[in-house]
Amino acid sequence: MALRACGRIAAGSSFVCSQIVLSRVQTASRLLLPGRIDRTFPARSTSSDALRSRLMKGTFTELESDSARLPASVPSDSGQQIALLMRHPDQPQNAKVLRVSIIGAPNAGKSTLSNQLLGRKLFAVSKKVHTTRTRAMGVLTKDETQIILLDTPGLTTPSKVKRHQLEKSLLVDPWNTLKEADLVVVLVDVSDRWMCGRLDFEVLKCLAQHPEIPAILVLNKVDLMKTKDRLLNITAELTCGIVNGRKTRVRPVIKPPSAEKQANVTPQSSPNVNNTDHAVGNALSKEQLRQLSSQRGWPHFKDVFMLSSLDKEDVETLKGYFLLKAKPGEWQYHSEVLTDQTPEQICTNIIREKLLEYLPQEVPYSLTQSIELWHEGTNGEVDISVRLYAKKETHMSMVIGAAGQMVARIAQEVSGDLSNVFLTEVRLKLSVKLKK
Protein backbone atom coordinates (compact mmCIF):
# COMPACT_ATOMS: atom_id res chain seq x y z
CA MET A 1 0.00 0.00 0.00
CA ALA A 2 1.24 3.46 -0.77
CA LEU A 3 2.30 5.48 2.23
CA ARG A 4 1.39 9.09 2.21
CA ALA A 5 3.48 11.07 4.70
CA CYS A 6 1.87 11.90 4.56
CA GLY A 7 25.11 -10.36 -34.90
CA ARG A 8 28.09 -12.43 -38.62
CA ILE A 9 28.82 -9.41 -40.77
CA ALA A 10 30.54 -8.35 -44.02
CA ALA A 11 31.72 -4.80 -44.54
CA GLY A 12 29.10 -2.61 -46.20
CA SER A 13 26.42 -5.27 -45.87
CA SER A 14 23.25 -5.17 -43.84
CA PHE A 15 21.58 -7.75 -41.64
CA VAL A 16 17.84 -8.18 -41.60
CA CYS A 17 15.62 -9.83 -39.06
CA SER A 18 11.87 -10.18 -39.27
CA GLN A 19 9.53 -11.18 -36.50
CA ILE A 20 5.77 -11.55 -36.37
CA VAL A 21 4.15 -11.71 -32.98
CA LEU A 22 0.77 -11.45 -31.37
CA SER A 23 -2.36 -11.48 -33.43
CA ARG A 24 -5.09 -8.98 -32.67
CA VAL A 25 -7.14 -11.59 -30.85
CA GLN A 26 -4.12 -12.82 -28.87
CA THR A 27 -3.33 -9.26 -27.84
CA ALA A 28 -6.88 -8.61 -26.72
CA SER A 29 -7.03 -11.88 -24.82
CA ARG A 30 -3.72 -11.17 -23.04
CA LEU A 31 -4.94 -7.76 -21.93
CA LEU A 32 -7.96 -9.40 -20.31
CA LEU A 33 -6.13 -12.03 -18.27
CA PRO A 34 -7.01 -12.01 -14.57
CA GLY A 35 -4.74 -9.75 -12.57
CA ARG A 36 -3.83 -7.63 -15.61
CA ILE A 37 -7.02 -5.60 -15.79
CA ASP A 38 -6.46 -2.03 -14.74
CA ARG A 39 -8.13 -1.47 -11.38
CA THR A 40 -9.70 1.73 -12.69
CA PHE A 41 -12.11 -0.27 -14.79
CA PRO A 42 -14.52 -2.45 -12.82
CA ALA A 43 -15.21 -6.03 -13.83
CA ARG A 44 -18.44 -6.60 -15.70
CA SER A 45 -20.38 -9.40 -17.31
CA THR A 46 -19.75 -8.54 -20.96
CA SER A 47 -19.35 -11.72 -23.02
CA SER A 48 -15.83 -12.50 -24.24
CA ASP A 49 -16.99 -12.61 -27.87
CA ALA A 50 -18.64 -9.22 -27.66
CA LEU A 51 -15.63 -7.72 -25.90
CA ARG A 52 -13.19 -9.20 -28.40
CA SER A 53 -15.33 -7.81 -31.21
CA ARG A 54 -15.14 -4.32 -29.76
CA LEU A 55 -11.41 -4.54 -29.30
CA MET A 56 -10.88 -5.77 -32.86
CA LYS A 57 -13.03 -3.00 -34.29
CA GLY A 58 -11.12 -0.42 -32.27
CA THR A 59 -14.31 1.06 -30.82
CA PHE A 60 -13.93 0.19 -27.16
CA THR A 61 -14.45 3.82 -26.21
CA GLU A 62 -17.15 3.54 -23.63
CA LEU A 63 -18.69 0.60 -21.83
CA GLU A 64 -22.25 0.90 -20.61
CA SER A 65 -22.33 2.29 -17.06
CA ASP A 66 -18.52 2.00 -16.72
CA SER A 67 -16.91 4.64 -14.55
CA ALA A 68 -13.97 5.05 -16.97
CA ARG A 69 -13.37 5.11 -20.68
CA LEU A 70 -10.59 2.96 -22.07
CA PRO A 71 -9.47 3.91 -25.57
CA ALA A 72 -9.10 0.78 -27.68
CA SER A 73 -5.68 1.74 -28.93
CA VAL A 74 -3.41 4.40 -30.29
CA PRO A 75 -4.16 4.59 -34.03
CA SER A 76 -1.41 2.96 -36.08
CA ASP A 77 -1.92 5.54 -38.82
CA SER A 78 -0.46 9.02 -38.29
CA GLY A 79 -3.35 10.69 -40.09
CA GLN A 80 -5.87 9.03 -37.82
CA GLN A 81 -3.87 9.97 -34.73
CA ILE A 82 -3.71 13.61 -35.81
CA ALA A 83 -7.44 13.61 -36.54
CA LEU A 84 -8.11 12.16 -33.09
CA LEU A 85 -5.97 14.82 -31.42
CA MET A 86 -7.93 17.52 -33.27
CA ARG A 87 -11.29 15.99 -32.45
CA HIS A 88 -13.54 18.12 -30.25
CA PRO A 89 -13.41 16.98 -26.62
CA ASP A 90 -16.51 15.01 -25.59
CA GLN A 91 -16.48 16.48 -22.12
CA PRO A 92 -19.40 16.19 -19.69
CA GLN A 93 -21.19 19.11 -18.14
CA ASN A 94 -19.11 19.21 -14.96
CA ALA A 95 -15.73 18.66 -16.59
CA LYS A 96 -12.56 18.83 -14.53
CA VAL A 97 -8.93 18.81 -15.59
CA LEU A 98 -5.47 18.56 -14.07
CA ARG A 99 -2.13 18.94 -15.87
CA VAL A 100 0.62 17.08 -14.04
CA SER A 101 4.31 17.58 -14.80
CA ILE A 102 6.56 14.77 -13.59
CA ILE A 103 10.15 15.89 -13.11
CA GLY A 104 13.25 14.45 -11.53
CA ALA A 105 16.82 13.39 -12.06
CA PRO A 106 17.57 10.98 -14.93
CA ASN A 107 16.46 7.39 -14.29
CA ALA A 108 14.22 8.24 -11.34
CA GLY A 109 11.37 6.22 -12.86
CA LYS A 110 9.26 8.98 -14.41
CA SER A 111 8.23 7.05 -17.54
CA THR A 112 7.50 3.89 -15.55
CA LEU A 113 5.19 5.83 -13.26
CA SER A 114 3.46 7.48 -16.24
CA ASN A 115 2.89 4.10 -17.91
CA GLN A 116 1.43 2.66 -14.73
CA LEU A 117 -0.88 5.62 -14.23
CA LEU A 118 -2.15 5.27 -17.81
CA GLY A 119 -2.50 1.50 -17.63
CA ARG A 120 -0.60 1.17 -20.90
CA LYS A 121 3.05 1.18 -21.88
CA LEU A 122 3.30 4.30 -24.01
CA PHE A 123 6.66 5.66 -22.87
CA ALA A 124 10.06 4.00 -23.25
CA VAL A 125 11.58 2.60 -20.06
CA SER A 126 15.18 1.55 -19.44
CA LYS A 127 17.66 1.21 -16.59
CA LYS A 128 20.02 3.56 -18.43
CA VAL A 129 19.77 7.33 -18.19
CA HIS A 130 18.22 9.59 -20.83
CA THR A 131 15.80 7.03 -22.23
CA THR A 132 13.22 9.78 -22.59
CA ARG A 133 14.62 12.33 -25.04
CA THR A 134 11.66 14.68 -25.57
CA ARG A 135 8.53 15.71 -23.74
CA ALA A 136 5.61 13.36 -24.24
CA MET A 137 2.02 13.58 -23.08
CA GLY A 138 -0.36 10.92 -21.82
CA VAL A 139 -4.07 11.35 -21.13
CA LEU A 140 -6.09 9.59 -18.46
CA THR A 141 -9.84 10.18 -18.63
CA LYS A 142 -12.14 8.97 -15.89
CA ASP A 143 -15.75 10.04 -15.37
CA GLU A 144 -15.81 13.83 -15.70
CA THR A 145 -12.08 14.23 -15.01
CA GLN A 146 -9.18 14.38 -17.45
CA ILE A 147 -5.63 14.03 -16.14
CA ILE A 148 -2.90 15.13 -18.53
CA LEU A 149 0.47 13.60 -17.66
CA LEU A 150 3.49 15.46 -18.96
CA ASP A 151 6.41 13.02 -19.04
CA THR A 152 9.72 14.86 -19.31
CA PRO A 153 13.37 13.96 -19.87
CA GLY A 154 15.54 13.81 -16.77
CA LEU A 155 16.85 17.23 -15.83
CA THR A 156 20.43 17.75 -16.92
CA THR A 157 22.92 20.54 -17.67
CA PRO A 158 24.30 22.07 -20.90
CA SER A 159 27.77 20.67 -20.23
CA LYS A 160 26.44 17.11 -19.94
CA VAL A 161 24.38 17.50 -23.12
CA LYS A 162 27.45 18.72 -24.98
CA ARG A 163 29.78 16.10 -23.53
CA HIS A 164 27.49 13.17 -24.35
CA GLN A 165 26.19 14.70 -27.63
CA LEU A 166 22.58 14.55 -26.46
CA GLU A 167 19.57 16.30 -27.98
CA LYS A 168 18.96 19.86 -26.81
CA SER A 169 15.37 18.85 -26.08
CA LEU A 170 16.71 17.34 -22.86
CA LEU A 171 17.54 20.87 -21.75
CA VAL A 172 14.48 22.75 -22.98
CA ASP A 173 11.53 20.36 -22.61
CA PRO A 174 11.44 19.94 -18.81
CA TRP A 175 11.43 23.69 -18.28
CA ASN A 176 8.76 24.36 -20.92
CA THR A 177 6.58 21.57 -19.60
CA LEU A 178 6.61 23.01 -16.12
CA LYS A 179 4.95 26.18 -17.40
CA GLU A 180 1.91 24.14 -18.51
CA ALA A 181 1.42 22.32 -15.21
CA ASP A 182 -1.20 22.68 -12.49
CA LEU A 183 0.74 20.28 -10.28
CA VAL A 184 4.40 19.27 -10.19
CA VAL A 185 5.45 15.78 -9.13
CA VAL A 186 9.08 15.56 -8.03
CA LEU A 187 10.12 11.93 -8.32
CA VAL A 188 13.11 10.66 -6.32
CA ASP A 189 14.68 7.21 -6.54
CA VAL A 190 15.23 6.32 -2.89
CA SER A 191 17.12 3.15 -3.81
CA ASP A 192 19.99 5.31 -5.09
CA ARG A 193 21.85 6.09 -1.89
CA TRP A 194 24.11 8.60 -3.65
CA MET A 195 21.21 10.75 -4.87
CA CYS A 196 18.41 10.40 -2.33
CA GLY A 197 20.11 12.52 0.33
CA ARG A 198 19.34 15.78 -1.46
CA LEU A 199 17.23 16.98 -4.36
CA ASP A 200 18.95 17.36 -7.70
CA PHE A 201 20.07 20.97 -8.11
CA GLU A 202 18.25 21.30 -11.45
CA VAL A 203 15.06 20.15 -9.75
CA LEU A 204 15.52 22.79 -7.04
CA LYS A 205 16.00 25.44 -9.71
CA CYS A 206 12.76 24.42 -11.41
CA LEU A 207 10.84 24.58 -8.15
CA ALA A 208 12.36 27.92 -7.17
CA GLN A 209 11.55 29.45 -10.52
CA HIS A 210 7.90 28.35 -10.33
CA PRO A 211 6.98 28.54 -6.64
CA GLU A 212 3.37 29.36 -7.55
CA ILE A 213 2.79 25.83 -8.91
CA PRO A 214 1.88 23.32 -6.18
CA ALA A 215 4.41 20.50 -5.88
CA ILE A 216 4.37 17.10 -4.23
CA LEU A 217 7.27 14.79 -3.41
CA VAL A 218 7.04 11.15 -4.52
CA LEU A 219 9.63 8.77 -3.13
CA ASN A 220 9.86 5.95 -5.66
CA LYS A 221 11.26 2.38 -5.48
CA VAL A 222 10.58 2.02 -1.77
CA ASP A 223 10.27 -1.73 -2.37
CA LEU A 224 14.04 -1.81 -2.88
CA MET A 225 14.75 -0.26 0.51
CA LYS A 226 15.99 -2.81 3.04
CA THR A 227 15.59 -0.43 5.96
CA LYS A 228 12.23 1.30 5.75
CA ASP A 229 13.03 3.59 8.67
CA ARG A 230 15.46 5.44 6.40
CA LEU A 231 12.47 6.75 4.47
CA LEU A 232 11.62 9.00 7.40
CA ASN A 233 15.08 10.58 7.41
CA ILE A 234 15.03 10.96 3.61
CA THR A 235 11.64 12.66 3.85
CA ALA A 236 12.93 15.06 6.49
CA GLU A 237 15.96 15.95 4.36
CA LEU A 238 14.09 16.44 1.08
CA THR A 239 11.31 18.52 2.64
CA CYS A 240 13.56 20.52 5.00
CA GLY A 241 11.28 19.17 7.72
CA ILE A 242 8.27 21.09 6.40
CA VAL A 243 5.26 19.70 4.52
CA ASN A 244 2.29 21.87 3.56
CA GLY A 245 3.58 24.68 5.72
CA ARG A 246 3.86 22.58 8.87
CA LYS A 247 6.93 21.21 10.58
CA THR A 248 7.12 17.45 10.57
CA ARG A 249 8.38 15.34 13.42
CA VAL A 250 10.64 12.46 12.44
CA ARG A 251 11.91 10.17 15.17
CA PRO A 252 15.66 9.48 15.06
CA VAL A 253 16.76 6.20 13.55
CA ILE A 254 19.32 4.10 15.44
CA LYS A 255 22.04 3.41 12.90
CA PRO A 256 24.19 0.30 12.86
CA PRO A 257 28.00 0.82 12.89
CA SER A 258 28.19 0.18 9.12
CA ALA A 259 25.77 3.02 8.49
CA GLU A 260 27.94 5.48 10.37
CA LYS A 261 30.72 5.00 7.82
CA GLN A 262 28.31 5.59 4.95
CA ALA A 263 27.04 8.75 6.62
CA ASN A 264 30.44 10.36 6.17
CA VAL A 265 30.17 10.04 2.39
CA THR A 266 28.52 13.01 0.74
CA PRO A 267 25.80 11.62 -1.56
CA GLN A 268 25.93 14.48 -3.99
CA SER A 269 28.40 17.32 -4.15
CA SER A 270 27.13 20.85 -3.82
CA PRO A 271 26.84 22.63 -7.17
CA ASN A 272 29.15 25.46 -8.13
CA VAL A 273 26.90 28.47 -8.65
CA ASN A 274 29.72 30.51 -10.18
CA ASN A 275 29.99 28.42 -13.33
CA THR A 276 27.96 29.11 -16.48
CA ASP A 277 26.20 25.75 -16.57
CA HIS A 278 22.83 27.18 -15.61
CA ALA A 279 21.76 28.91 -18.81
CA VAL A 280 18.66 26.90 -19.62
CA GLY A 281 15.50 28.20 -18.01
CA ASN A 282 17.54 30.26 -15.58
CA ALA A 283 15.86 33.40 -14.30
CA LEU A 284 17.40 33.17 -10.85
CA SER A 285 20.01 35.51 -9.48
CA LYS A 286 23.41 34.33 -8.26
CA GLU A 287 22.28 34.97 -4.72
CA GLN A 288 19.23 32.75 -5.20
CA LEU A 289 21.37 30.05 -6.79
CA ARG A 290 23.83 30.27 -3.92
CA GLN A 291 21.02 29.85 -1.43
CA LEU A 292 19.63 26.87 -3.33
CA SER A 293 23.05 25.25 -3.44
CA SER A 294 23.07 25.13 0.35
CA GLN A 295 19.63 23.47 0.46
CA ARG A 296 19.17 19.74 0.50
CA GLY A 297 15.43 19.86 -0.01
CA TRP A 298 12.38 22.01 -0.78
CA PRO A 299 10.26 23.27 2.13
CA HIS A 300 7.12 23.95 0.08
CA PHE A 301 5.88 20.50 -0.86
CA LYS A 302 2.14 20.11 -0.34
CA ASP A 303 2.22 16.35 0.18
CA VAL A 304 4.62 13.41 0.26
CA PHE A 305 4.03 9.93 -1.16
CA MET A 306 6.13 6.83 -0.66
CA LEU A 307 5.50 4.15 -3.27
CA SER A 308 6.73 1.65 -5.80
CA SER A 309 5.64 2.57 -9.32
CA LEU A 310 5.40 -1.17 -10.05
CA ASP A 311 2.76 -1.68 -7.37
CA LYS A 312 -0.79 -1.16 -8.69
CA GLU A 313 -2.25 -0.27 -5.31
CA ASP A 314 0.42 2.37 -4.75
CA VAL A 315 -0.23 3.86 -8.18
CA GLU A 316 -4.00 3.82 -7.62
CA THR A 317 -3.50 5.85 -4.45
CA LEU A 318 -1.56 8.51 -6.33
CA LYS A 319 -4.06 8.45 -9.18
CA GLY A 320 -6.88 9.04 -6.69
CA TYR A 321 -4.98 12.05 -5.35
CA PHE A 322 -4.75 13.51 -8.85
CA LEU A 323 -8.49 13.04 -9.38
CA LEU A 324 -9.23 14.86 -6.14
CA LYS A 325 -6.93 17.74 -7.06
CA ALA A 326 -8.51 18.30 -10.50
CA LYS A 327 -10.24 21.66 -10.92
CA PRO A 328 -13.31 22.59 -13.00
CA GLY A 329 -12.18 23.32 -16.54
CA GLU A 330 -12.45 22.34 -20.17
CA TRP A 331 -10.92 19.12 -21.37
CA GLN A 332 -8.10 19.52 -23.84
CA TYR A 333 -8.63 16.23 -25.66
CA HIS A 334 -11.29 13.75 -26.69
CA SER A 335 -11.68 10.87 -24.23
CA GLU A 336 -10.25 8.40 -26.78
CA VAL A 337 -6.88 10.16 -26.83
CA LEU A 338 -4.13 8.28 -25.01
CA THR A 339 -1.05 10.27 -26.06
CA ASP A 340 0.11 13.05 -28.37
CA GLN A 341 2.91 10.87 -29.76
CA THR A 342 2.69 9.76 -33.37
CA PRO A 343 2.76 6.00 -34.09
CA GLU A 344 6.24 6.44 -35.58
CA GLN A 345 7.50 8.16 -32.44
CA ILE A 346 6.17 5.37 -30.26
CA CYS A 347 7.90 2.82 -32.50
CA THR A 348 11.31 4.51 -32.49
CA ASN A 349 11.14 5.14 -28.75
CA ILE A 350 10.42 1.49 -27.99
CA ILE A 351 13.26 0.42 -30.29
CA ARG A 352 15.55 2.81 -28.42
CA GLU A 353 14.38 1.30 -25.15
CA LYS A 354 15.41 -2.20 -26.27
CA LEU A 355 18.75 -0.98 -27.59
CA LEU A 356 19.49 0.68 -24.26
CA GLU A 357 18.40 -2.42 -22.41
CA TYR A 358 20.50 -4.97 -24.27
CA LEU A 359 23.55 -3.12 -25.60
CA PRO A 360 26.51 -2.03 -23.47
CA GLN A 361 27.87 1.39 -22.57
CA GLU A 362 27.77 4.02 -25.32
CA VAL A 363 26.67 1.70 -28.14
CA PRO A 364 22.90 2.40 -28.03
CA TYR A 365 23.46 6.15 -27.79
CA SER A 366 25.49 6.14 -31.03
CA LEU A 367 22.86 4.34 -33.12
CA THR A 368 20.39 6.18 -35.33
CA GLN A 369 17.11 4.98 -36.80
CA SER A 370 15.30 5.44 -40.09
CA ILE A 371 11.78 4.15 -40.80
CA GLU A 372 11.90 2.73 -44.32
CA LEU A 373 8.35 1.33 -44.50
CA TRP A 374 5.07 1.76 -42.62
CA HIS A 375 2.16 -0.03 -44.26
CA GLU A 376 -1.28 -1.05 -43.00
CA GLY A 377 -2.81 -4.19 -44.52
CA THR A 378 -6.43 -4.77 -45.42
CA ASN A 379 -7.06 -6.61 -42.15
CA GLY A 380 -5.49 -3.90 -40.01
CA GLU A 381 -2.07 -5.54 -39.62
CA VAL A 382 0.91 -3.22 -39.73
CA ASP A 383 4.18 -3.91 -41.59
CA ILE A 384 7.09 -1.80 -40.39
CA SER A 385 10.68 -1.74 -41.64
CA VAL A 386 13.28 0.16 -39.62
CA ARG A 387 16.96 0.49 -40.45
CA LEU A 388 19.52 1.01 -37.71
CA TYR A 389 22.75 2.80 -38.56
CA ALA A 390 25.91 2.04 -36.57
CA LYS A 391 29.04 4.18 -36.57
CA LYS A 392 31.45 1.26 -36.04
CA GLU A 393 31.59 -2.31 -37.27
CA THR A 394 32.03 -3.49 -33.69
CA HIS A 395 28.81 -1.72 -32.74
CA MET A 396 27.02 -3.27 -35.72
CA SER A 397 28.23 -6.68 -34.66
CA MET A 398 26.86 -6.16 -31.15
CA VAL A 399 23.44 -5.14 -32.46
CA ILE A 400 23.23 -8.24 -34.67
CA GLY A 401 24.54 -10.60 -32.02
CA ALA A 402 25.64 -14.20 -32.40
CA ALA A 403 23.80 -15.76 -35.35
CA GLY A 404 21.49 -12.74 -35.39
CA GLN A 405 20.00 -13.55 -31.99
CA MET A 406 20.23 -10.03 -30.56
CA VAL A 407 18.49 -8.21 -33.41
CA ALA A 408 15.91 -11.01 -33.52
CA ARG A 409 15.16 -10.56 -29.85
CA ILE A 410 14.82 -6.80 -30.18
CA ALA A 411 12.50 -7.16 -33.20
CA GLN A 412 10.35 -9.67 -31.35
CA GLU A 413 9.98 -7.59 -28.21
CA VAL A 414 9.30 -4.35 -30.07
CA SER A 415 6.65 -6.12 -32.17
CA GLY A 416 4.97 -7.35 -29.01
CA ASP A 417 4.96 -3.92 -27.37
CA LEU A 418 3.60 -2.25 -30.50
CA SER A 419 0.89 -4.90 -30.78
CA ASN A 420 -0.26 -3.97 -27.29
CA VAL A 421 -0.26 -0.26 -28.13
CA PHE A 422 -2.05 -0.53 -31.49
CA LEU A 423 -4.10 -3.63 -30.61
CA THR A 424 -3.37 -5.14 -33.97
CA GLU A 425 -0.84 -7.51 -35.50
CA VAL A 426 2.53 -5.86 -36.03
CA ARG A 427 5.26 -7.26 -38.32
CA LEU A 428 8.52 -5.48 -37.66
CA LYS A 429 11.63 -5.88 -39.82
CA LEU A 430 14.87 -4.56 -38.37
CA SER A 431 17.97 -4.12 -40.49
CA VAL A 432 21.42 -2.94 -39.41
CA LYS A 433 23.85 -1.06 -41.63
CA LEU A 434 27.20 0.62 -41.20
CA LYS A 435 26.94 4.37 -41.43
CA LYS A 436 29.44 5.74 -43.96
Q: Are residues 348 and 322 in the same domain?
A: no
Q: Residues of 22-47 as b/e, b for ≥16 C-beta within 10 angstroms?
A: bebeebbeebeeeeeebebeeeeeee
**With bands split at pLDDT 50, 70 and 90, how would you rate the model's confidence at 66?**
very low
- 80 Rama class: left (phi>0) / alpha (psi -120 to 50) / beta: alpha
Q: Are residues 315 and 346 in the same domain?
A: no
For residue 287, being part of any structural domain is answered with yes
Q: 52-57: which pairs have CB atoms within 8 A and are 24 or more residues apart? A: 52/25, 52/28, 55/24, 55/28, 55/31, 55/423, 56/24, 56/25, 56/28, 56/380, 56/423
Return the percentage of the chain with pLDDT > 90, whole number: 48
pLDDT for 134 equals 67
Q: Are residues 231 and 192 in the same domain?
A: yes
For residue 59, being part of any structural domain is answered with no
pLDDT for 105 equals 82
240: domain CATH number is 3.40.50.300
Counted domains in the chain: 2
For residue 210, the tally of other CB atoms under 10 A from its CB is 17
Total residue length of the chain: 436
pLDDT in tens, 106-153: 788 888 999 999 988 898 887 765 555 567 889 999 999 999 998 776
For residue 355, being part of any structural domain is answered with yes
Residue with the larger pLDDT of the pair 156 and 407: 407
pLDDT for 320 equals 95
pLDDT in tens, 355-374: 999 998 788 888 999 999 99
For residue 365, being part of any structural domain is answered with yes
Q: Are residues 94 and 164 in the same domain?
A: yes
For residue 210, being part of any structural domain is answered with yes
Distance CA 121, CA 333 (A): 19
345: domain CATH number is 3.30.300.20
pLDDT for 11 equals 40
Of 303, 328, 353, the domain-final residue:
328
**Segments forming the whole domain that contains residue 425:** 7-36+341-434
Q: Where are the alpha helices (DSSP H) in 164-296?
A: 169-180, 201-209, 230-239, 257-263, 286-293
**With bands split at pLDDT 50, 70 and 90, how would you rate the model's confidence at 241?**
very high
Residue with the larger pLDDT of the pair 406 and 178: 406
Its pTM surpasses 0.75: no
pLDDT in tens, 165-213: 444 444 445 556 678 899 999 999 998 887 788 898 888 888 988 899 9
**Residue spans of beta strands (DSSP E) within 177-334:** 183-189, 215-220, 242-243, 246-247, 303-306, 327-328
